[in-house]
A and B are shown apart, each in its own frame.
Chain A
Amino acid sequence: MRRRGIGMHGLKQKQTARSHYRQFGEQLAHERVAMMEDQLSKFRKVLEDFAFRHKEDIKRDPIFRKHFHEMCASIGVDPLASNKGMWSELLGFGDFYYELGVQAVEACMAHRPANGGLMEIDELVAQVNKRRGGKVDSVSKDDVVQSIKKLGKLGSGFRLLQIGKRTIVQSVPGELNRDHNMVLSQAESQGGWVRSADIERSLGFTQDRMQQALQALLNEGQAWVDDGHEDGERRYWFPYLRHVK
C-alpha cells in the first residue's frame, strides 16, 4: 500500500489534482459540445437539401419517409418547406399554399402567449421565413396572405383584420379567446371597472390585443364606457360585477 497522500500535504496535493481534473473535464466537455454543434449544423444543411430535392421520392416509400421525418423532427428541419416555382411546375400552387398555411399557423401559435393571437402581417412573414430555413426562397407578404385565405375552409377563426392602415392576422377565434376572461377578472379585482392602463400594466397586453378585447366586451354588452371621470381617462364598467360587490 502506498503511504504517500497522507497528512496535510497529501490532502492539498489531492485537492489540486482534483481541480486539475475538473478543469480538464470541463474543457473536454466544451470541446465536445462545440463539435456536436458543428455536426448538427452540417446535418441540418444536408437534410434541408435532401428535403428540398428529393421530396417526391421520399413520399413514395413509407418506411423511408418515417425515418426521414424523424431526422427532420430531431434536427429541427422543416420538411414542408418547398419553393413556389417547384409546385407551379408540378401541380399548380395548391399544395404550396397549404404547406405555407401550416407554417403560418405554427408561427402564430408559437407567439400566442405573447400577443394573444394578434400579429402584424409583416411580423408574421418574417417569422415564417425564419422557420422555413435557409434552403428555400423566402416567401412574400402576398404568399402568406394567399395561404391564409386558402385556409378559409377551416372556418373563420384565422383571418386578416384591417386596423387603420395596418393588416393584422388574427389566429384565435372569438369563441376560444380567453382574453375577455382575463379583462373581466381584472375588473372584478378593482371593483367592477378597468382602464386601458390597468390592462396594459397588469396583463401586459399590447395595444392591439387590448383594443380587440375591450371592443368585443363592449359589443357583447358586458362593458359600458364611462368618459365622465375627472382625470379624463376612460373607464370600462362591468355593471354586473359592481352589483356583486
Chain B
Amino acid sequence: MAALVLDDLVLSASRRPELLESEIELCWVQSADLEFDKHKGETWRNGTLAVTSHRLLWLKPEHDADHQTTSSAPARDCSLPLSSIKGHRGVNSFFKKTPRVILSVWRSAEGRPACAEAAQAEELDEVSVALRGPSGSYDTMEKNLTLALSRQEWKRAPLRKTGLTVGETYALATERQRGATSSARVGASAAGIGGLVRKQREDNLRADKSIDGAFKDLAALMDKAREMVDLSAKLKEALRENAESADDTNDEDKGIEKFLLTLGITSVVTKTTAGSMFHQQLSQQLSDFLEEPLKKSSGALALVDVYCIFNRARGIELVSPEDLIEAAALFPKIGAGMRLRKFESGTLAIQSSEHSDEALYEKLEAMAQEGGKPVGIGPDDVAGGLDIPLILAREYLLMAEQDQVLCRDDGPDGLRFYRNFFRDLFEY
C-alpha cells in the first residue's frame, strides 16, 4: 500500500495558513510530530499544529536546518480534512512520556485522504500526532478536535454570495427554514396570484417563527446559528437592494465604508486558540489584514484607526492597545511588508514598506534635481510629488537632512532643501 499523502497547505505572505471559506482555527500547539507509523516509521518532526473547524493543519518548522527527516519524503506544510477522519484515540499515560493522538483516516487508492463515502471500506490509514510541547498541549488538541468533529462544520454549505434578486434571496432564506418536508408541494394552492400572496405570507410567518425558536435560549441559538446567519445576511441584502433602488443611501458612513468592505476576519487569533504563539500569530493576521486598508490610504494608517478597524473586523474578541502595539512591533521579525513608525510628535502609524527611509531618500534626491541641475524643494513639492500630507512631507525632509541626504537653504521664500553634494565628495 502506498504511503498516505496529505493535502497541501497554502500559506499567506506572512506565513499564516490560507483558510477555506468559513473555516476557523480552534487551537494551535507547538512541537508536534506527524508519525506515519505504517510506512517505515516515517516521521515529520517539530512542526506547528492547528485544529480548525474543517481541517488539521501542520506547518513544518520555519528553519529547516534544525529539522531532520528520517525518510526520503521531505516534510512540507500540509493539511488533513476532518471529513476523512474515521475516529481518533488518545494515548496519554503516565508511563509514556509523549502523549499522542492517533487518527484513523479514510483514504483513496492513490493515498489521498478521502471522506468516508468516497473511500472504500478497507482503505484506512493511520497517522499519529505526537505532542512534545508543553504539558497542556495534549488536552488542548484533544478537546478541540473532539469539538470540531462533533460540530461537522464542513458539512454545511457555504453562504451563498450576492447576485440574486430580492425575491430570490428571500425565497432562498425562507426555503431553508421550511426544510424538505413541504418543498414538493406545488399544488393548486401555490398557483395564480392568490397563491403568490399566500406563499409570501407563509414564508414570512415561517421566518418569524424560526427567529422566535432560534433565540429562545443560548443552546437553541447555537444549534440554529448557521440558519440565522443565512437569514440575517439575506434580509440585510434584500433590504439594501431595495434601498438602492429607492436611492436612500446613508451618507454618514462614507468615511468608514471603504474599510468596512474589508470587515470580517473569519478566523480570529485569540489568546485561547494561539496560546504562547499569540503575539506572533496576531502580528501575522494583522499584517495580512492591513494590506488592503493600507493601499486605500496611500500607505499610512494611524495606529488608532488600525485599532478600530482591526477590532471591528474581529468582532467580539477585543485586542487591547498593548497587544496591538506588541503585534505591530513584530512586523520586521515576521517579514511583513509594513512597519510601525513613531513620529516626533508622538504619533504612531503603520506604514507600508514602500515608504522605507531608503526608498524615500532616493525619491527626495531625484526630486531635488531637474535635468541634472539642483533645485530646491519644500514640503509643498514633496507633498504634491509623493501625494502625502504636508506635515508628513516636512517630517521626511527633516529626516533626510538629519541623515545628510539633503541640506537646507533658509531663504526669503521659506525653507528649501537641496541635494547634499558634499556627500559625493566624501564617498570618493
A residues adjacent to B (C-beta < 8 A): 24, 28-29, 31-33, 35-37, 39-40, 42-43, 46-47, 49-51, 54-55, 57-59, 61-76, 79-80, 94-95, 98-99, 101-102, 105-106, 109-114, 150-151, 153-158, 171-178, 180-181, 184, 216-217, 220-222, 238-241, 243
Query: Contact: A62 with B315, CB < 8 Å?
Result: no
Answer whether A65 and B317 are a contact pair too, CB < 8 Å, given A111-B252, A157-B304: yes
Main SS at interface, chain A: helix
Q: Check: B242 CB closer than 8 A to any chain A CB.
A: yes
- Kindly state the separation between the CA atoms of A113 and B259 in the bound complex, as whole angstroms: 14
Would you give 6 A-B contacts (Cβ < 8 Å), ordered by A? A24-B193, A33-B242, A59-B317, A151-B307, A157-B347, A176-B389
Chain B proximity of A125: nearest CB distance (Å): 16
Q: Which of B227-274 contact A (CB under 8 A)?
A: 228-229, 231-233, 235-239, 242, 252-256, 259, 263-264, 266-268, 270, 272-273
CB distance A70 to B256 under 8 Å? no
Picked from A36, A46, A155, A221, the residue with its CB within 8 Å of the CB of B304 is: A155
Interface residues contributed by chain B, number (CB under 8 Å): 94
Q: Which residues of A contact B242 (CB under 8 A)?
A: 33
How far is the CB of A16 from the nearest CB of chain B, in Å?
Answer: 15
Question: Which residues in A have their C-beta under 8 angstroms from that of B295?
Answer: none
State whether the Cβ of B215 lies closer than 8 Å to any Cβ in chain A: yes
Q: Does B391 contact A (CB under 8 A)?
A: yes
> What mask results when residues 326 to 343 of chain B are scored 1 for a CB within 8 Å of chain A, else 0?
000000000000000011
Does B414 sit at the interface, judged by CB under 8 A? yes
Given known contacts A28-B197, A39-B211, A112-B255, A74 and B414 CB-to-CB distance under 8 angstroms? no
Q: State in angstroms the CA–CA spacing of A48 and B215 once bound together.
A: 11
B392 within 8 A of A: yes
Q: Is the CB of B239 within 8 A of A37?
A: yes
Report B's interface with A, CB cutoff 8 A: 22, 24-26, 53, 147-148, 151, 153, 166-167, 170, 193, 196-197, 200, 204, 207-208, 211, 215, 218, 221-222, 225-226, 228-229, 231-233, 235-239, 242, 252-256, 259, 263-264, 266-268, 270, 272-273, 300-305, 307-309, 311-312, 315-318, 320-322, 324-325, 342-343, 345-349, 378-380, 383-384, 389-392, 394-395, 412-416
Q: Which 6 A-B pairs have the closest CB atoms?
A: A155-B348, A69-B315, A156-B346, A67-B225, A105-B308, A180-B390
| CA A221 to CA B242, docked complex, whole Å | 52
Contact B302 A64 (CB under 8 A): no
Query: Is there contact, CB below 8 Å, between A173 and B316?
Result: no
| Supplied contacts A62-B272, A173-B345, A220-B390, 5 more A-B pairs, CB within 8 Å | A43-B211, A43-B232, A62-B26, A68-B316, A155-B304
Q: Out of B25, B253, B259, B343, name the residue touching A175 (CB < 8 Å).
A: B343
A73-B315, A111-B252 given; A222·B345 CB < 8 A: no
Q: Let me know if A177 and B222 touch, CB within 8 A.
A: no
Q: Which residue of B lies closest to A113 (CB)?
A: B255
